[in-house]
Amino acid sequence: MKFAYLIEPPFNFRHADGRVDGADVALARHVSAALGSGPFEPVEAEFAELLPGVAAGRWRMTTGLFATEERRRTAAFSRPVWALPDGLLVQQGNPLALTGYRSVAARAECRLAVIRDQFQHRSAIAFGVQEERCMIFETYTEAATAVRDGRADAYASVAKAHDGFLAQHPDWDLEVVTVPREEKQPAFGCLGFSLEDDAFRHAVDEILEAYIGSPEHRAMMAGFGFSDTDVDMLVAR
């Protein structure tokens, strides 16, 4: 089974020896084995390729994405596989004293890095960040590098992705500001499928329902930095 992912620790990343790993990769590998759908084949893609690629049959399933109404017009989605708050990646010491999207909007000098078409780009605009202050990138590493080098003041993504990246790059002198729940509630991420592959999606959902929240699933998620509280949000959804 071909599974499309993008480099975004702790969901998907590559070890020094080239092995692909991460919470979403491990979950997809479990699904593939349970289905008996042949060899598991992770395929790295850019974010903008994920849903067009699954619609075109280039891969069978994608890494977790926010299942917005707009995306549901072109793709189908599994039950939630994670629920996480957004976060801002900023330079060490948080020089602009950012606290969330509202503070970015209030600081006219703040340049915000985002990934093309990601949910956080739209969230920033909804909170009043002008489009001309958004710097568009194609990959996580490009956006994080812009913050490290001072070309951007913050990078909006999932807070857990920032945590995972910094665990692998402790020398980058960056830190994470988690967007408070009172500003924006954590959002659910779901695996993506072709609209024409409904039977496959249903089969995957049956496996996920049996697996998510189990001791084995909790241990797997803990290995990538997720707490029981993180998993409980999925079980009680």
- 2-83+187-235 shares its CATH topology with 86-178: yes
- Amino acid letter for position 164: G
Element (H, E) at 44: strand 41-44
CATH of domain 2-83+187-235: 3.40.190.10
Over the stretch 1-19, which tens digit does the pLDDT of each residue have? 999 999 988 999 999 999 9
Amino acid type, 36? G
Higher pLDDT, 37 or 128: 128
Phi and psi at 172, nearest 5°, equal: -85, -5
| Distance between CA atoms of residues 101 and 87, nearest Å | 9
Residue with tokens 């994080």: 144
User: What are the pLDDT digits (tens) for 99-132?
Assistant: 999 999 999 999 999 998 788 999 999 999 999 9
Burial of 140 (0-12, 13-18, 19+ CB in 10 A): buried
Say how far residue 49 (Cα) sits from the centre of its chain: 14
pLDDT in tens, 50-82: 999 999 999 999 999 988 888 999 999 999 999
Distances (CA, A) of 13 to 25, 63, 102: 9, 12, 31
Where does 86-178 sit in CATH, by number? 3.40.190.10
AA identity, residue 227:
S
- What is the residue extent of each domain of the chain? 2-83+187-235, 86-178
Distance (Å, whole) CA 144 – CA 137: 10
Grouping H, G, I as helix, E, B as strand and the rest as coil, residue 132 is helix
Structure token pair of residue 49:
């390729």
Token pair listed for 176? 């994470």
pLDDT tier for residue 237 given thresholds of 50, 70 and 90: low
CA atoms within 13 A on the CB side of 37: 20
